Amino acid sequence: MALTHPFPTATVLGYPRIGRRRELKRAVESFWAGRTTADELESTALALRRDTARHLVSLGLDADGGAVPGSFSYYDQVLDAVALLGAVPDRFAGLTEAGPGGHGRLPLAAYFAVARGAGDAPPLEMTKWFDTNYHYLVPEIGPGTPIAFADDRVVREFTELARPDDGGAPVVTRPVLVGPVTFLLLSKAADGSPEGFRPLDRLDDVVDAYAGVLRALAAAGAPWVQLDEPALVTDLLGAGFDEVADAVRRAYARLATDLAPGRDRPAILVAAPYGDLRGGSGDGLALLAGTDVEAVAVDLVRGSAPTGAVPGLDSTTLVAGVIDGHNVWRADLGARLADLEGLTAAGAGAVTVGTSTSLLHVPHDVADEPRLDSALAGWLAFADQKVAEVVTLATGLTQGREAVADRLAESAAAVRSRAAAPGVVVPAVRERTAALTPEDAERAPYARRAAAQRERLDLPPLPTTTIGSFPQTAEIRAARAAWARGELSDADYTAAMRGQIAATVALQEELGLDVLVHGEPERNDMVQYFAEQLDGFATTVNGWVQSYGSRCVRPPILWGDVSRPAPLTVSWTAYAASLTSKPVKGMLTGPVTILAWSFVRDDLPLGETAEQVALALRDEVADLEASGIGVVQVDEPALRELLPLRTAAHAEYLDWSVRSFRLATAGADVATQVHTHLCYSEFGQVIGAIDGLDADVTSVEAARSRMEIVPQLADAGFGRGIGPGVYDIHSPRVPSVEEVTELVTLAAKAIDPRLVWVNPDCGLKTRGPAETRESLANLVTATRTVRATL
Ligand code: MET
Ligand SMILES: [Zn+2]
């Protein structure tokens, strides 16, 4: 197929859209608060898109030909596809207005209403995007959901940059859309859909609408469009390879074959980020090569490079994702260039350079980190550095190594300096993990532990507790901010936090809870708090990445061997315990969750890093015990999140993740009660692992699914303490006594009531003090009612 526009030699699959100083977050939130109008928000966003596109050109991407991705979103790219298609659930239908062709288009306020809820209409559900900590909104598709080319925002955004009216330089971008197959595989069947209906049944309608979008983009002059199809790299979306392959063939026959490139549509890049296109039960690369799309982007960080000729690839450009879009390390450019050179074996029509994923998952710029250790800074590449790396590799590939010799040398020097730097490999840490034996991960049998704990703790049936955090009030946040600015002394800060702890302990005693907590007032974040105190981690100042909507996080950077220079939590917990005769539960974040919410090192297997973190926590557990604490909770909310996208990799992951939890906790005395807590998910795939953690008590999110997890655990033979959440902490609504009574009764019927604990779904840090008090009071009253019937 003759191409008018060859694919650019260097590109990235997407770029952060929140702005270097979170300008978009601020603009969106001030629109939500009614302080600015939709027009003002639109003009801030336009300015941001222009700055971003021109900035990418200044970093070396071509200004024309579609090298710069058009990957902006006000909230979420999956929601954008919902808006593009007008595929709005009935409960929001009243908010749409007529768009092109008279289809229902969402004005900005309505777009945000779908994301955040409006009045009685709950928002779309939110869930994690592949194996990242980014959350997307789950489309609801039924047989009657409207699907058409309803909103031409993507076309307008292209035109605004290609033909700018601000007198600035034009940039011909490459619009980025979620691909039709992935869109439907990420959707759930709308409520009321007939038995057996699956969103993928609507593929032809979605593809028709996309055909309309592609025509409009071609008419506007877009040389390339990018359709993201990461559904091709996962086994976790409930469709087998053959079904996905069939959908891909149908979709791209219609989009790529039936529409004439250059006339009816732009040239098409299909991107398959986040994993191995060739790691499932079929070869996704051969599948895509067999379609008429002009280019395919593969993730060569997570995925494997083809070792021989791929049929059909000779007429396709292979966009080799050799720069990691999902982590922050500077690449070894010489090695990556060798990888690119090795790709000739695949027999692609052309090979160009890209990132493995969108750069959405990394911060903007290492140069923006004034407080980072300068050696560490030299080993890192955030989004801007990664763009430069891609450009360097493309130059090396097209002009030869000599053309970039100095940059290859610099990169090699950075890699060498990192490997040899103090703290990266700490012999004492390595010796300790090397000496571990299987017994280090084993506790005494549960029956013995349970007896010893019964005697020590003397708890009533259906013991009540909370998950750890109490409301993070404005007062607490203000104290921490003042302390960080140096305006509050260490002593005054400690006194302020102790005051909070005392109030929280008093509240729990007054309410009559059985196992108390200190309330976690001193924690900014359940991972960052630990990362700030452990050796081997660094934290950033401006390293924000989007978590969902306007919510951003600053993941710590785990760069070296991990150890614990001093106790992390003991003084706070011991202080709480000194105020009450009831048991106080110590609170730790587990190794898997600490890794999941940090940037992890790429020079050590994750399982080994997890062991190091686990041993640091094990020492903390010992120190808590030594200070008299008899209950310790190790939270693992991210256990499910790190589950590999390919089922073939599950066993190995579950093995090291479960082992790291056990290493953290197995040093505990038989009479010390070990709790764990999990939330955020369908636990189906990790039920066995939950059992494998061997915790004495496991609390899980369950209120919204009405205790669904309890029979699942019972069926799996789970025989230790279980606290299914009876109160949904994601909403300010106070659960009634009747409601909680019903849920507790349900749990006590599904499983031996002697195993049942009563607790909320998760921590209370985002809740207000008044609703927290009322909800917990109802929880205790309901528990007493059920206890009386036992
Ligand atoms: C996301 S799980 C949170 C657990 C933590 N202990 C808390 O209560 O906040
Ligand atoms: Zn939780």
- pLDDT tens figures, 177-233: 999 999 999 999 999 999 999 999 999 999 999 999 999 999 999 999 999 999 999
Taking residue 320's Cβ as centre, other Cβ atoms within 10 Å add up to 28
Looking at residue 227, its pLDDT comes to: 98
Choosing from 133, 469, 513, 588 the residue with most ligand 1 atoms within 8 A of its CB, the one to mutate for a pocket test is: 469
Residue 720 has pLDDT above 70, yes or no: yes
CA of 598 relative to ligand 1 center, distance in Å: 16
Domain that holds residue 686: 449-789
Q: How far is CA 333 from CA 298, 386, 693, in A?
A: 18, 11, 41
Least confident range of 1-15, 22-36, 237-251, 710-724? 1-15
Q: Which residues fall within 8 angstroms of residue 761, CB to CB, at 6 or more apart?
A: 467, 679, 701, 702, 703, 704, 725, 726, 727, 728, 729, 730
Summarised one tens digit per residue, pLDDT across range 516-566 is 999 999 998 999 999 999 999 999 999 999 999 999 999 999 999 999 999
Write the residue with the smallest CA distance to atom 2 of ligand 1.
Answer: 637
Hey, what amino acid is at 581? S
**For ligand 1, atom 4: residue with the closest CA:** 763
How far is it, in rounded angstroms, from Cα 779 to Cα 589?
25
Q: Is any atom of ligand 1 closer than 6 Å to the C-beta of 517? A: no
| Tokens coding 612 | 């190091």
Would you say the CB of residue 223 lies under 6 angstroms from ligand 1? no
Q: What angle do CA 517, 520, 523 make, to 5 degrees?
A: 160
Q: So what's the pLDDT on residue 414?
A: 96
Q: Are residues 91 and 220 in the same domain?
A: yes
User: Per residue in 258-286, pLDDT tens?
Assistant: 999 999 999 999 999 999 998 888 999 99
**Residue 460 and residue 394 share a domain:** no
Q: Give yes or no: 650 in active site.
A: no
465 Cα: distance to centroid of ligand 1 (angstroms): 13
Residue whose Cα lies nearest atom 6 of ligand 1: it is 468
763 Cβ inside 6 Å of ligand 1: yes
Ligand 1 atom nearest the C-alpha of 469 is: 8
Mark whether 454 and 382 lie in a shared domain.
no
Q: Looking at the domain assignment, is residue 430 inside a domain?
A: no
Answer whether residue 4 shows pLDDT above 70: no
Under a CB-based contact definition with an 8 Å cutoff, are residues 223 and 266 in contact? Answer: yes
- Indicate if 389 and 486 belong to the same structural domain: no
**731 assigned to some structural domain:** yes
Number of domains in the chain: 2
Residue 324 CA to ligand 2 center (angstroms) comes to 29
775 lines ligand 1 (CB under 6 A): no
State yes or no: pLDDT of 2 exceeds 80. Answer: no
Q: How many CB atoms lie within 10 A of CB 442?
A: 11
pTM of the shown model: 0.95
**Nearest-atom index, ligand 1, CA of 467:** 8
Measured distance CA(424)–CA(429) in Å, rounded? 10
- Tell me what the mean pLDDT of segment 309-316 comes to: 94
Give a yes or no: residue 557 inside a domain: yes
Residues 151, 252, single domain; the answer is: yes
Residue 622 has pLDDT above 70, yes or no: yes
The neighbour count for residue 785, using CB atoms within 10 Å, is 15
Burial of 457 (0-12, 13-18, 19+ CB in 10 A): middle
What residues contact residue 697 under an 8 Å CB cut-off, 6+ apart?
673, 674, 675, 676, 720, 721, 722, 723, 757
Tell the residue nearest (CA) to atom 7 of ligand 1. 763
Nearest in space to 20 (alpha carbons), one of 359, 357, 365: 365
Neighbours of ion ligand 2 (CB under 5 A): 637, 679, 762
Beta bridge partners of 194: none
The number of the ligand nearest the C-alpha atom of 679 reads: 2
List, for residues 656-665, the tens digit of each pLDDT value. 999 999 999 9
Pick from 743, 756, 529: nearest CA to 635: 529
Q: 760 CA distance to ligand 2 centroid (A)?
A: 9
- 699 sits in which H/E element: strand 697-700
- Alpha-carbon distance of 591 to 433, in angstroms, equals 14
Integer Cα distance of 66 and 172 in angstroms? 6
- 489 and 394 housed in the same domain: no
Q: Which amino acid is at 448?
A: R
Residue 455 and residue 413 share a domain: no
Q: What is the mean pLDDT of residues 364-373?
A: 96
Residue 4 lies in a domain: no
Predicted local distance difference test score (pLDDT) of residue 596:
96
DSSP code of residue 630: -
Q: Are strands 97-98 and 104-105 parallel, antiparallel or unpaired?
A: antiparallel
Q: Please check whether residue 404 lies inside any domain of the structure.
A: yes
Q: How far apart are CA 565 and CA 562, in angstroms?
A: 10
Token pair for residue 678?
A: 């999990």
What CATH number did the domain enclosing 532 receive?
A: 3.20.20.210
Going by C-alpha positions, the residue among 644, 745, 624, 633 that lies closest to residue 679 is 633
User: Tens digit of pLDDT for each residue in 98-139?
Assistant: 887 888 899 999 999 999 988 888 899 888 899 899 999 999
3-class SS at 554? coil
Q: For the segment 459-473, what is each residue's pLDDT rounded down to a tens digit? A: 999 999 999 999 999
- Regarding the beta carbon of 468 and ligand 1, being less than 6 Å apart is answered yes
Crossing angle for the helix pair 203-220 and 153-162, nearest 10 degrees? 20
pLDDT in the model for residue 1: 42
Looking at this protein, which amino acid is placed at residue 558? L
Is residue 9 in some structural domain? no
Helix, strand, coil shares of the chain, percent, nearest 5, are: 45, 15, 40
pLDDT at 334: 97
Catalytic residue among 326, 518, 675, 730: 730
Least confident of 122-131, 360-369, 586-595, 631-640: 122-131
**Under 8 Å between Cβ of 424 and 46:** no
- Please state the φ and ψ torsions of residue 228, each to the nearest 5 degrees: -85, 120
Q: ∠462-466-469 over CA atoms, to 5°?
A: 175
Q: Is residue 415 predicted with pLDDT exceeding 60?
A: yes
Ligand 1: which of 762, 764, 765 to mutate, most ligand atoms within 8 Å of CB? 762
Tell me, yes or no, whether 11 lies in a domain. no
Residue with tokens 């027009």: 39
How many CB atoms are closer than 10 A to CB 191?
Answer: 10
Number of other residues whose CB lies within 10 A of the CB of residue 627: 16
Residues 385, 455, single domain; the answer is: no
Helices and strands of the chain, counted as H and E runs: 26, 22
677 C-beta closer than 6 A to ligand 1: yes
- Regarding whether 456 and 363 lie in a shared domain, the answer is no
Q: What is the dihedral of CA 525, 531, 533, 536, to 10 degrees?
A: -170
Residue 453 and residue 398 in one domain: no
pLDDT of 120 = 82
729 C-alpha vs ligand 2 centroid, how far in Å? Answer: 9
Average pLDDT over residues 14-43: 97
**Measuring from atom 3 of ligand 1, which residue has the nearest CA?**
763
Side chain identity, residue 524: N
Domain-embedded: residue 466:
yes
Q: Is residue 643 lining ligand 1, measured as CB closer than 6 Å?
A: no
536 and 667, same domain (yes or no): yes
**CB of 467 closer than 6 A to ligand 1?**
yes
For residue 466, give the nearest of 582, 348, 295 by alpha carbon. Answer: 582
pLDDT for the residue 119: 83
- Closest-approaching ligand to the CA atom of 520: 1
Mutate-to-test residue for ligand 1 from 135, 526, 676, highest number of ligand atoms within 8 A of CB: 526
Residues 637 and 783 in one domain: yes
The percentage of residues in the chain with a pLDDT greater than 70, rounded to a whole number, is 99
